[in-house]
Amino acid sequence: MRILVTGGAGFIASHIVDAYLAAGHEVAVLDNLSTGRRENLNPRATLYEGDICFHDQVQKVFDEVRPEVVNHHAAQLDVRLSLEQPAFDATVNILGTINLLTHAARCRTRRFIFASSGGVLYGECEQEFPASERAPLCPISPYGFSKQAGEQYLRFFTAEHGLEGVALRYANVYGPRQRGGEAGVITIFCQALLAGKTPTIFGDGQQVRDYVCVSDVVAMNLKVLERGMGAYNVGTGTTTSVNALFAKLRALAESTVEVQYAPARSGELQRNALNAERAWRELEWQPLMKLDDGLRQTFDFCKLQRVRETR
């Protein structure tokens, strides 16, 4: 198939590009390289350097690629930035998504896969834990609101234009190629431990998350190329506290470094986990990577990156 992957030079989507190419598909990537990195990009993919927010740039890509499937991962991902600049967050995550959906409908794209976020849509998961797709949506940040809006527009274009719309609600994704920054706590800890620096935990460290490895996320993106409609959670259903996460990584690094604590940040959840039974029931997907194994892979990648960068 002809597949257009937005944000294909980024952490998650670059792995998806690799998998699509390995499966024999023809892959084009649209990325403005603001956070994506050229070294992540598979040389067999065709890169269109452009921005999803610009109508003319997106139109040109769609007219040349004529994608049968769009896999949309380009986004503004920083929750804190969304709090500071909600208009910018909405421009990228809402208007950018509408721009892509409009051209997908115009070019009669068959399927549109949208990278959503179970990590922000369900909020504190007060009514159902772990949260299934039936749980109330209770985002508490502009970033969460923008992902909810993206799903709503996807639903509209599915009904109005016949797109096969799929929204993948990710838990906290980690793995090789992830950089430090928002949602990259595992990489942040790895980098600090390798440098012998003291990392900071915001809050008391008892907040819990559902950590899913990027390899399992890729497997789900392969599943939904042909099957599935609507929203699917992509998580493990199990939780790990930030304190426990640091302890695991410190043991891997054979380090005695301690953490320092700082006040909790606005917009940060205390607990979140996803029930992915629907993905198993309808698509026979389940997470296969054990957390300890995934953490070792990520730590080894960060270690290799540090060696390369210090040469």
Run of H or E including 187: helix 185-195
Coil/strand/helix, residue 165: strand
The answer to whether 143 is a known catalytic residue is yes
Coil/strand/helix, residue 5: strand
Count the Cβ atoms, other than its own, within 10 Å of residue 41: 21
Active-site residue, selected from the candidate residues 48, 122, 143, 153? 143
Determine contact, residues 231/167, Cβ cutoff 8 Å: yes
Q: Please state whether beta strands 260-262 and 200-202 pair in parallel, antiparallel, or not at all (unpaired).
A: parallel
Determine contact, residues 211/171, Cβ cutoff 8 Å: yes
Cα separation, 249 vs 206, whole angstroms? 16
DSSP lists the bridge partners of residue 29 as 5, 47
With a CB cutoff of 8 Å and minimum separation 6, the contacts of 152 are none
CA dihedral 175, 247, 207, 262 (to 10 degrees): -100
Q: Please state whether beta strands 208-209 and 240-241 pair in parallel, antiparallel, or not at all (unpaired).
A: antiparallel
Coil/strand/helix, residue 240: strand
Which tokens is 235 given? 């998580």
Q: Tell me how far apart the 2 most distant CA atoms of the chain are, in Å.
A: 58
DSSP lists the bridge partners of residue 241 as 208
Count the Cβ atoms, other than its own, within 10 Å of residue 310: 8
Cα separation, 271 vs 259, whole angstroms? 21
> How far is CA 139 from each of CA 71, 122, 178, 183, 264, rounded to the nearest angstrom?
23, 6, 24, 16, 18
Determine contact, residues 169/232, Cβ cutoff 8 Å: yes
Catalytic annotation, residues: 143
